């Protein structure tokens, strides 16, 4: 597993940069406002001291000047708060959107999909999903911390003016703050330790509340078992974190007790000075007010320090993920981008493949030549390795050993994005993109997604015109439950939309169709497959394109130029239908005849 190197900037800077990127003006105003506002109560207490001393000494000018200044400070503070809070909320919302975009970009930018199989990456992504909110509050929390620090400094300064020894009082708050920091560390370590269990609990929750799983949950009476498994997983994750929180609380209490002793000492000290006549009544009022407010400030500082810790640990995770993405990025390509036309074809040379963090190879000793312009069928039993072969061909995974070449160029050396752009496909676990039909299909070629004529052409090539014509608003029909009045489609209808999406690129060098008709009725299946063979021939003529489909139904493979029979991760037979049927001890013929009898 790749270990990311050191990030280029610290977590605090990274968190602040997010707020500034989201809304610079709101962030700066929040800093100024939240940074200065906490000093207002200290200033007012100081003015109260002036008022008290002015009353004692009958100094009318000082009295009314101080009352006026206190009124002005309170008014300004009250007047500005609504505006500042409004901007603060705006800053948090805008930052949340920036964080989401960053996460989508980072995760979407990981080369291929192998990293999304990595449990450590999945755990970090899951934690980041949970902690996104802390990242969006980074600017806000930093402003609160700055405010607390400024207030502590001003309080210390004012106390020192009365009696320099009182300056030590705020210092007694330090152990409490350090204890809180340690407690927060324990908590976030516990969150990291329980990430896998939390991920499992999250999966169980999503399964228990999602529409697709709802049918089986009811039919099989899975609800109670699912809830019980969720309860156990959530309780496990929670117990780990709760233990850490209790440990942190004990430390906090010890720190708080130390401060309480100092607080009592300070009160005793000032009252003693007043009794001796070395401080004024105003000083006593001032010190009593400030010392009392220090305990509130301390409580706030502990909370803010906790918030800051959450922001920093979320920011560290984001930096880790970004660094990881940068470290696993493919080296600059040394081969040119594949051209628009395939001349010789694609070759597998001694390819082995093993999924990340698994001990077994699912593809072994694959040597295979797919000539340009051919229609290839990959057949085999469940788990034989058909989909994996397709994922390697499209560059979504890299071989663990051996190489795949396109017109003689090793795919690892070619620019991956350029190869993606020359391919198209419909995967077994195709996406149900809940957009309008136009955009759900058009997503197959983003530059042409808004061109209705181009989208219709793809819909027709996927033999899905009858489906789209029957929808209430044709191409403008909104699909899925994400829309208020979205049209829900059947499984087969969604697959036709996914197939139409695969047809948006007119002449790809490689078109892969993994079980393209699995959810489609047998009558439509025939029409669809002939449409594909026609399209494949056109693509072959235009771009030397290879059309490769994986299927369990061997009858669909009959017309292919090449049939690849895969069994337990190895190619066991290769050839045209007639040749394979004619071979002695042919696994293909055996399977074909058994299927023919079963479907007869």
Ligand X SMILES: Nc1ncnc2c1ncn2[C@@H]1O[C@H](COP(=O)(O)OP(=O)(O)OP(=O)(O)O)[C@@H](O)[C@H]1O
Q: Which residues bind ligand X (CB under 6 A)?
A: 117, 355, 358, 362, 380, 382-388, 428
Confirm if 427 and 393 have CB atoms less than 8 A apart: no
| Residue 258 vs 519, nearer CB to ligand X | 519
Question: Closest by alpha carbon to 126, among 222, 200, 21?
Answer: 200
CB of 117 vs ligand X, minimal distance in Å: 5
Q: Which is nearer to ligand X, 60 or 358 (CB)?
A: 358
Q: Please report how close the Cβ of residue 506 comes to ligand X at its closest, in angstroms.
A: 27
Question: For residue 139, which of 38, 12, 37 has the smallest C-alpha distance?
Answer: 12
CA distance 358 to 272: 74
Which lies closer to ligand X via its Cβ, residue 391 or residue 505?
Answer: 391
Q: Which is nearer to ligand X, 353 or 419 (CB)?
A: 353
Q: Which residues contact 479 (CB under 8 A, 6 or more apart)?
A: 432, 433, 434, 435, 436, 437, 440, 486, 487, 488, 489, 497
Residue keyed to tokens 């228990």: 208
Helix (H, G, I), strand (E, B) or coil at 573: strand
For ligand X, give the closer residue by CB, 168 or 355. Answer: 355
**Closest separation in Å from C-beta 422 to ligand X:** 23
Q: SS3 of 425, please?
A: strand
* 74/428 with CB nearer ligand X: 428
**Least distance from C-beta 425 to ligand X, angstroms?**
14
Nearest distance from residue 596's CB to ligand X, in Å?
Answer: 19
Shortest distance (Å) from residue 95 CB to ligand X: 34
User: Minimum CB separation from ligand X for residue 391, in Å?
Assistant: 8
Q: How far is the CB of 382 from ligand X (least distance, A)?
A: 4
Distance of CA 384 to the CA centre of its chain: 32
Q: Smaller CB distance to ligand X: residue 61 or 358?
A: 358
Degrees, nearest 5: CA angle 102-103-105: 65
Q: How far is the CB of 556 from ligand X (least distance, A)?
A: 13
Alpha-carbon torsion angle 63, 67, 73, 79, nearest 10: -170
Q: Which is nearer to ligand X, 151 or 386 (CB)?
A: 386
Question: Whole-number minimum distance, CB 386 to ligand X, in Å?
Answer: 4
**Continuous segment of H or E residues that includes residue 213:** helix 211-219
Distances (CA, A) of 251 to 182, 295, 387: 8, 17, 54
User: What CA–CA distances, in Å, run from 225 to 197, 199, 207, 231?
Assistant: 17, 18, 12, 10
Bridging pattern class, strands 510-514 and 423-426? parallel
- Hey, what are 515's tokens? 């079980």
Q: Whose Cβ is closer to ligand X: residue 378's or residue 411's?
A: 378
Radius of gyration of the chain (CA): 34
- Of residues 117 and 457, the one with the C-beta less far from ligand X: 117
Choice between 119 and 299, CB closer to ligand X: 119
Q: How far is the CB of 125 from ligand X (least distance, A)?
A: 16
Interior CA angle at 125 toward 122 and 127, to 5°?
110
Closest CB 512 distance from ligand X, rounded Å = 12
Angular region, 373: left φ>0, alpha ψ -120 to 50, beta rest: left
Of the pair 1, 446, the CB lying nearest ligand X is at: 1
Instruction: Tell me the three state secondary structure of residue 572.
Output: strand
Cβ neighbours for 207, distance < 8 A, ≥ 6 positions apart:
213, 217, 226
Cβ contact 197:237 at 8 Å: yes
The span from the CA of 245 to the CA of 164, in Å, is 37
CB nearer ligand X, residue 30 or residue 551? 551
With CA atoms as reference, report the closest residue to 517 among 590, 472, 463.
Answer: 463
Minimum CB separation from ligand X for residue 543, in Å?
26
Give the integer Cα–Cα distance in Å for 523 and 481.
Answer: 29
């Amino acid at each position: 597993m790749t270990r990311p190197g050191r990030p280029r900037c610290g977590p605090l800077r990274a968190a602040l940069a997010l707020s500034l990127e989201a809304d610079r003006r709101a962030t700066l105003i929040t800093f100024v406002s939240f940074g200065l506002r906490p000093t207002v109560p200290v200033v007012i207490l100081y003015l109260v001291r002036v008022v008290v001393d002015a009353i004692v000494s009958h100094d009318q000018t000082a009295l009314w000047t101080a009352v006026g200044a206190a009124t002005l400070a309170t008014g300004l503070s009250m007047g500005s708060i609504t505006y500042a809070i409004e901007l603060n909320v705006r800053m948090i919302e805008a930052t949340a959107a920036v964080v989401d975009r960053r996460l989508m970009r980072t995760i979407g930018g990981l080369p291929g999909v192998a990293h999304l199989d990595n449990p450590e990456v999945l755990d970090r992504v899951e934690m980041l999903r949970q902690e996104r909110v802390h990242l969006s509050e980074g600017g806000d929390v930093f402003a609160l911390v700055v405010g607390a620090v400024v207030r502590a400094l001003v309080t210390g300064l004012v106390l020192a003016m009365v009696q320099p020894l009182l300056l030590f009082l705020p210092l007694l708050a330090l152990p409490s703050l350090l204890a809180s920091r340690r407690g927060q560390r324990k908590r976030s370590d516990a969150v990291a330790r329980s990430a896998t269990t939390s991920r499992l609990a999250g999966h169980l929750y999503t399964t228990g509340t999602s529409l697709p799983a709802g049918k089986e949950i009811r039919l099989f009476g899975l609800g109670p078992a699912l809830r019980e498994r969720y309860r156990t997983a959530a309780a496990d994750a929670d117990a780990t974190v709760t233990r850490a929180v209790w440990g942190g609380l004990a430390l906090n209490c010890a720190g708080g007790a130390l401060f309480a002793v100092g607080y009592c000492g300070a009160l005793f000290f000032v009252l003693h000075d007043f009794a001796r006549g070395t401080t004024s009544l105003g000083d006593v009022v001032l010190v009593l007010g400030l010392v009392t407010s220090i305990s509130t400030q301390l409580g706030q500082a502990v909370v803010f320090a906790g918030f800051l810790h959450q922001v920093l640990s979320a920011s560290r995770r984001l930096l880790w993920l970004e660094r990881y993405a940068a470290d696993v990025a493919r080296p600059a390509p040394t081969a040119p981008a594949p051209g628009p036309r395939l001349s010789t074809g694609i070759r597998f040379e001694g390819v082995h493949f093993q999924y990340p963090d698994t001990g077994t190879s699912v593809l072994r000793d694959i040597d295979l030549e797919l000539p340009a312009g051919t229609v290839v069928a990959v057949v085999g039993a469940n788990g034989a390795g058909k989909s994996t072969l397709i994922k390697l061909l499209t560059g979504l995974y890299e071989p663990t050993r051996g190489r795949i070449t396109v017109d003689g160029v090793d795919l690892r050396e070619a620019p991956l994005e350029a190869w993606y752009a020359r391919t198209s496909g419909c995967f077994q676990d195709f996406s149900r993109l809940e957009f309008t039909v136009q955009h759900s299909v058009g997503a197959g070629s983003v530059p042409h997604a808004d061109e209705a004529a181009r989208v219709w052409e793809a819909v027709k090539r996927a033999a899905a015109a009858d489906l789209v014509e029957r929808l209430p608003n044709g191409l403008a029909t909104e699909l899925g439950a994400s829309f208020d009045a979205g049209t829900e489609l059947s499984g087969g209808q969604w697959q036709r939309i996914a197939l139409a999406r695969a047809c948006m690129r007119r002449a790809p060098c490689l078109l892969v169709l993994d079980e393209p008709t699995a959810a489609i009725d047998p009558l439509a299946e025939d029409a669809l497959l002939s449409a594909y063979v026609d399209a494949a021939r056109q693509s072959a003529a235009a771009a030397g394109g290879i059309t490769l489909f994986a299927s369990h139904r061997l009858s669909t493979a009959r017309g292919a130029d090449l049939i690849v029979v895969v069994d337990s991760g190895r190619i066991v037979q290769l050839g045209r239908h007639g040749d394979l049927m004619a071979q002695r001890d042919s696994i293909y013929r055996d399977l074909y005849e058994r299927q023919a009898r079963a479907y007869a």
